[in-house]
Amino acid sequence: MKKIVYLPLDERPVNLVFPQQLANITDLTMCVPHPSILGRKKKPADFHAIKEWLFHETKHAHYLVVSIDMLIYGGIVPSRLHSLSKEECNARLQILNLVKKQNPKIKILAFNLIMRAPAYSSSEEEPDYYQLHGREIFRFGWLTDKMDKEKLDRPEETELISIQEKVPAEILSDFLNRREVNFFVNQQVIRLTNEELIDFLIIPLDDNSKYGFSPKEQRQLILQVEEQNLFDRVSIYPGADEIGCTLFAKVFCEVKNYVPRIFVRYSSTKGPEIIPKYEDRSLNESIKSHITASGGIMLDYSKDADILLMVNSPAVGEFNVAEQGTYKERHRSYFSEVHQQEFVRVMEYYLNEKKFIALADVATCNGSDNVLMKLLAKKGLLSKINCYAGWNTSGNTIGTVNAHAIVASYYNESGNEEKLGRSKEFYYSRLVEDWGYQALVRQNVCSEDLPKFGVDYFHLGEYQEEIQNIIQNKLKDFIEQYLTDHEVTLKNVVLPWDRMFEVGFDLSIKTARISAI
């Protein structure tokens, strides 16, 4: 039995728990650190405790899947707040050399984000000054990057001058210095990949756009990758919180000598070419990256595919992509260029043909497309679909459902009820969280319940436990309405960062028999 040591990006369920749940479907062993040493939101992880844990657990392990952001900075949010020097970061990075020296046969798969620069002003996950100057800092990066390639127009020149006058020099300097350090770390991990200390590397683009700090750094890193002829071992594409799942799927494929064949089908003709919100490239190109990085290949036809990846896609990109809200508020293209009736009908046909169906729901951001999900429920198809995701960004969704589909498709015809049951539980967890919570309950609680307590979305305070109980009860109502094919038990609902954005819970299902289809 192969042992995988996994150091996650942070302690939230999407990073810590999801990869474990995928590993539990398999016969591979995944070892993770205790949450108590992983920090919490802006509080960095305990570096020395992680160092000791890594040395102990990797001594006889076969694989290490490691978040460099966690190893060096103490997590995704601390990576945007730290004051470490290049020398300090490089010293922490040398831990990987010591791991390899102790266990020369271990394979190291690493990931390290290009630090984001959100397009909005908020200090929720950024430095305090981002509350006042976040939008201007983003625009500074956007304009200066564009300026390197083409001439700014007069309003853009005026805007750039205004930003430089408005944002204090010390604030801009702090932000740019941190970016420089983080960029240096990415250069170093590419170097370590070239030296074959790191066997495979993903550099995800977190909250990316056409111009800005991230795309500029991406281009420089790609040139380094090309110069060192590493395109077979380094992937750079939009993503973040799903990468732990992606790299587990890659390890799984290598251990099982499995090359999953994936056919991609869209709900909209324009879907493959739209640029998703928070990303910098077409949806189809991103999907290629997710499939390739996880060990799969993309087929041009469905007949021989192990997985049919059904993509509920928007027909419009970037800022016009719908967030959670009423159907009538959506961009007009949702009423003419997304053919959900045909999409559901062809899904039903494939299911009747015993095809393995994974549904990537990216037509809306931050939760499921409620219109599609209600139609699938009405047609009685929810219990027949194999895998699903529809949370936060397009990259988060695709990476999660793709990784689950790779693992689950391998066991699809095995008849192993235990493994199929665990896969079904992960699938139902996605329905409850991505559809039940993100698309329905979260909005309902924000509008109906939070005002009663006098709290807001990001600060639940002393009422957090009571709000968690309300959410749990409403999710149980959702289950009773839509997920009646199995006996589903939901408990231990938590809001890990004391806000409404993400949720965690324990879910189990009881069935007389779980079939492969």
Residue 272 and residue 358 in one domain: yes
Of 236, 255, 274, the last residue of a domain is 255
pLDDT over 50 at 144, yes or no: yes
Residues in the chain: 517
Cα dist from 16 to 7, 30, 326, 355, 375, whole Å: 8, 11, 32, 31, 32
In this structure, the answer to whether residues 13 and 81 fall within a common structural domain is yes
In terms of domains, do 381 and 450 share one? no
Asked whether residue 134 is assigned to any structural domain, the reply reads no
Provide the pLDDT for residue 324.
Answer: 76
Domain C-terminal end among 397, 412, 427: 412
pLDDT digit string, tens, across residues 327-356: 777 878 777 788 899 999 999 999 999 999
- The predicted model scores a pTM of 0.96
496 neighbors 13 (Cβ within 8 angstroms):
yes
- The per-residue DSSP string of 46-86 comes to -HHHHHHHHHHHHTT-SEEEEEHHHHHHSSTTGGGT----H
The whole domain housing 39 covers 3-118+179-255
Distance CA 86, CA 88 (A): 6
pLDDT (average), residues 442-457: 96
Q: Write down the pLDDT at residue 511.
A: 63
Q: Is residue 358 within 8 Å of residue 388, measured between CB atoms?
A: yes
| Nearest residue to 397 via CA among 216, 261, 246 | 246
Q: Which stretches does DSSP call E strand in 303-449? A: 307-312, 357-361, 387-389
Over the stretch 192-244, which tens digit does the pLDDT of each residue have? 999 999 999 999 998 888 899 999 999 999 999 999 999 999 999 999 999 99
Mean pLDDT for the chain?
A: 95
Q: What is the structure's pLDDT at 149?
A: 86
Where residue 204 falls (left for φ over 0; alpha for ψ -120 to 50; beta otherwise) is: beta
Residues 467 and 324 occupy one common structural domain: no
Domain stops at, among 197, 230, 255? 255
